[in-house]
Amino acid sequence: MKFHWLVSLALATTAAADTPPPVPPELLNCAAIGRNNERLACFDRAVAALAAGKPAGGPAATPEATFGMLSSTPAPTRPADSGGDLQSLQSTVKAFGRADDGSLLIKLENGQAWKQISGTDPLLRKGDTVTINRAALGSFQMIMPSGRSAKVRRVD
């Protein structure tokens, strides 16, 4: 009887060891992102949240949700037109704020926040629709309804 019990226990332990732990969906979503720096930023956020014992939460890893996300680790450069990456997005201005350095923060309806890093007064109001385009060397440009543009960086 003890022998059967030990064999059953050994088989159960072996079967459990052969089954890899499931990959958290937060990491699977990040793996689908095409741009290196946005994929790495997604992984960084997901792993930090999982290590803290919290679900990664936040926006789902869609091209729009990860547009403009940058990692603190530099990524190799890729051509701007690489495989179906989102080149621009449009959203409506929800609110304004100020960054620690005093620069303008623009909060959008899609949940993203962008910091103006160059340019003049954007002449924006709540409810205006803006377009954010990829620009040279991994930068981003916000186009306002007034025709003005400014370099921006995503902060949230």
DSSP assignment string, 1-28: -HHHHHHHHHHHHHHHHHSPPPPPHHHH
What pLDDT does residue 80 have?
40
Q: Are residues 53 and 9 in the same domain?
A: yes
Residues 6+ away with beta carbon under 8 Å from 65 = 59, 110, 111
The pLDDT score that the predictor gives to residue 8 is 58
pLDDT, residue 77, reads: 37
Q: Is the domain of 107 the same as that of 148?
A: yes
Whether 132 is covered by a domain: the verdict is yes
pLDDT of residue 47: 80
Identify residue 40 by its one-letter amino acid code: L
| SS3 state of residue 111 | coil
For residue 123, the tally of other CB atoms under 10 A from its CB is 11
Residue 17 lies in a domain: yes
**74 is a domain residue:** no
* Closest listed residue to residue 85, CA positions, set 49, 33, 43: 33
pLDDT of residue 19: 63
Under a CB-based contact definition with an 8 Å cutoff, are residues 56 and 65 in contact? no
Provide the domain count of the chain: 2
Q: Are 36 and 78 in contact (CB under 8 A)?
A: yes
Residues 61, 22 share a domain: yes
Report the 10 Å Cβ neighbour count for 142.
22
Same domain for 99 and 134, yes or no, is yes
Q: Are 62 and 92 found together in one domain? A: no
What local confidence, expressed as pLDDT, does residue 151 receive? 93
CA dihedral sign of residues 73, 33, 96, 135:
positive
Residues (pLDDT < 70) of the chain are 1-21, 54-61, 70-85
Query: What's the first-to-final CA gap in the chain, in angstroms?
Result: 61
Residue 25 domain boundaries = 2-66
- pLDDT score recorded for residue 83: 45
**Among candidate residues 15, 33, 66, the one where a domain is terminated:** 66
* Within-domain flag for 26: yes
Looking at the domain assignment, is residue 21 inside a domain?
Answer: yes
**19 occurs within a structural domain:** yes
Residue 78 covered by a domain: no
Domain assignment present for residue 72? The answer is no
Instruction: Report the pLDDT value the prediction gives residue 46, as an integer from 0 to 100.
Output: 79
pLDDT of residue 73: 37
The answer to whether 108 and 126 have CB atoms below 8 angstroms apart is no
Same domain, 58 and 6: yes
